[in-house]
A and B are shown apart, each in its own frame.
Chain A
Amino acid sequence: GAGVSQSPSNKVTEKGKDVELRCDPISGHTALYWYRQSLGQGLEFLIYFQGNSAPDKSGLPSDRFSAERTGGSVSTLTIQRTQQEDSAVYLCASSSGPETDTQYFGPGTRLTVL
């Protein structure tokens, strides 16, 4: 079916506002990852969901960041009280399960905090 989709593709917000970023994984994929890519940098792991298990939040940079995954499918990454250093591309990836390394990435959401 379709690949990983993310929305919005671009988001500009003011410092201090909350933002929500959405990820639709590939249908049937049980594993979902969020990464952050700052300008000129590699990707930085944020959070991982696998099925109904508790998410691995070890990569979240602060308590302003949180994520949910409803019904084992769509995921939302929320950043509260955004700061300028939060500006980055946020990428979502899914894989068919924990036994595979092949993560398929979405196009990302470019977040700009003014």
Chain B
Amino acid sequence: GQQLNQSPQSMFIQEGEDVSMNCTSSSIFNTWLWYKQDPGEGPVLLIALYKAGELTSNGRLTAQFGITRKDSFLNISASIPSDVGIYFCAGQLGYGGSQGNLIFGKGTKLSVKP
């Protein structure tokens, strides 16, 4: 099925560093969402974006909805060990039915630098 292009696939973080990841799509979405998934758990919503150009923060997380509605980025500032996990972007065409289902990127895996 349709998927978003998410990059990077993986990255190593050192405590205190800033982290950035992004998603692009050939399709326009009305909503962009960022989720985090810990091992053995379902994804948990971090940030939801509803308008093109919107910049939203949630603590140390900042995400933006691209002007073209075909991309989004997520920044994590001053990373801490509990930030490790897999981050997914997801696009949503609309609400309800097949418009409401989420189309996911393949994820960005954050690990601690050895």
Q: Which residues of A come within 8 Å of B, CB atoms?
A: 4, 31, 33, 35, 40-45, 48, 50, 56, 58-59, 91, 93, 95, 98-108
Contact = CB atoms under 8 A, between A and B. Distances in A.
Given A41-B106, A102-B48, A107 B96 contact: no
Interface residues of B, number: 28
B96 A98 contact: yes
A31 B97 CA distance: 9
Contact of B102 (A4, A43, A56, A107): A43
B101 A42 contact: no
Interface of B: 1, 3-4, 6, 31, 33, 40-45, 48, 88, 90, 92, 95-98, 100-107
A59 B95 CA distance: 16
Given A42-B3, A50-B97, A107-B40, 9 more contacts: A41-B107, A42-B6, A42-B105, A45-B101, A45-B103, A91-B42, A98-B95, A100-B95, A103-B102
A92 to B, nearest CB: 8
